[in-house]
Amino acid sequence: MKNILFLLALSILLFGCAKKKPATDYMKEAKLGIEQKKIPETIKTYETLVNEFPNDSLAPEALYQLGTIYQNKMVPNLNETQSLEKAVTVFRSVFDRYPDFKQAQISLFMVGFIQANELKKYQDATAAYNLFLQKYPKSDMAPAAREEVNNMGLTPEQIISKKEISKDNGKQSGL
């Protein structure tokens, strides 16, 4: 009985002290998974990296890549809407958890873009774009965010018509 307890304690000690892979190994594994089109495994790898190394410089990149996978609807057994909703959640998480990450502003813009153009959730999209404009007013993407808000819910034909009317009004007022 003592031998069994000793072996149990020893195995717990050995497995409990086992080294985790470094974050860089997870990132390499995930990139290889994308190349080999092993999407479920890649998702798990990115999620493991983010969960085990949330403060590592690779964590926000892994989360951003995860959002991209969902946005591109690459996940088997997820319908388009589920995949896009997951992308919105993940991109928002990039912005919320890693606001200083270089892709944080792109992630927030993508939240609004997917909600407006794919999911047709115009109220949520407007809120995301307005937050984007509040946080990044001088961003190169700010004009696009303003245009998205101004044309929210309009069809392409309605946007063209709106621009033509605006152009005609400018000519009539001598501008």
List of domains in the chain: 23-155 (1.25.40.10)
Cβ–Cβ < 8 Å for 93, 63: yes
As a whole number, mean pLDDT of residues 88-116 equals 96
Task: Say how far apart CA 94 and CA 17 lie, in whole Å.
Answer: 31
pLDDT digits (tens, 9 = 90+) for 32-54: 999 999 999 999 999 999 999 99
- Whether the pLDDT of residue 158 is over 70: the answer is yes
Q: What is the pLDDT of residue 155?
A: 78
Residue 5 zone, left/alpha/beta (φ > 0; ψ -120 to 50; rest): alpha
Give the HSE-up count for residue 53: Cα atoms under 13 Å, Cβ half-sphere.
Answer: 20
Place 16 in a pLDDT band, splitting at 50, 70 and 90: very low
